[in-house]
Structure 1
Amino acid sequence: MPYSGDDFYCDVAIPRREPLVVVHEDNDVLAFHHTRPFWPVHVVVVPKVHVDSLLTLQDAALAARLLEVVQSVAADVVAEHGSASVMTNLGGYQDSKHLHVHVHSGEALSRAL
């Protein structure tokens, strides 16, 4: 059954209630291949503590660590695929109400909703 809550990362990904292909994990940050990718290469980077969005991120050390991991993941994607995009969503664009950064490459995949 597809997840229907509003914080996939706290509810499913971080506690590993679903298998993930992990790219990076440390005490503060988890990066993994999206479970329902929108692009051929689609990695999600999240803080392991709940933060609503980029707009509410107050912890400077966590922000720095998150950005370090995003930078590393993006560098790996560029090295392997030649290009990458880095983005986060806010407000109504944010399906999961937990700060997450997408690192992706390639043309958007066609998906039936």
Structure 2
Amino acid sequence: MSAATYAGNDFYCDVAIPRAVPLEVVHEDELVLAYHHTRPFWRVHVVVVPRRHIASFTTVGAADEPDVRALLEVVQRVARRVEEEHGAAAVLTNLGRYQDSKHLHVHVHSGPQRD
């Protein structure tokens, strides 16, 4: 299986977190994984994801607080580094129909969109 051929609905639980494909890891600990996107949409495109399945930003509850706190700390560090290195950074999460993979994840990106 490759990232390009994955046809499920939770790429992170099924592929990224168990490392079914090679990843260029930016950060990894017991709660969070951050890596360069396998199919980048921008020149710099890092995905930050909690290791434990959380469906979406809009489904986060009190029990998810440690995971979401850790996720946001990593997003902040990655965004700071991208901003320092490239002069700008954007932070984005998608919801509903915009969310291809039904697992909370945050994109940190910079630069023009790729073709």
Matched position secondary structure for 1:106 = strand
The residue that corresponds to 2:59 in the other structure is 56
So what's the TM-score if we normalise by structure 1?
Answer: 0.95
Asked whether 1:100 is paired with 2:105, we answer yes
Matched position secondary structure for 1:11 = helix
Aligned-pair CA distance for 1:56: 1.0
Aligned-pair CA distance for 1:98: 0.4
Asked whether 1:23 is paired with 2:26, we answer yes
In the TM superposition, structure 1's runs of 4+ consecutive aligned residues that sit over 3 Å from their partners are none
Q: Would the aligned equivalents of 2:52 and 2:67 in 1 still touch at CA under 8 Å?
A: no
Matched position secondary structure for 1:32 = strand
Query: In structure 2, what is the Cα distance between the partners aligned to 1:33 and 1:66?
Result: 16
Structure 1 residues 49-83: Cα deviation after superposition (integer angstroms, max 9, x where no partner) = 10100011121121111100000000010111010
Structure 2: segments with no counterpart, 5+ residues = none
Query: In structure 2, what is the Cα distance between the partners aligned to 1:67 and 1:35?
Result: 21
Instruction: Specify which structure has the higher proportion of helix.
Output: 2
Matched position secondary structure for 2:112 = coil
The residue that corresponds to 2:36 in the other structure is 33
The residue that corresponds to 1:70 in the other structure is 75
Number of aligned positions between the proteins: 110
Structure 1: segments with no counterpart, 5+ residues = none
RMSD, aligned CA:
0.7
Give the share of equivalent positions with the same residue, in percent. 65
The residue that corresponds to 2:87 in the other structure is 82
Asked whether 1:12 is paired with 2:11, we answer no
So what's the TM-score if we normalise by structure 2?
Answer: 0.93
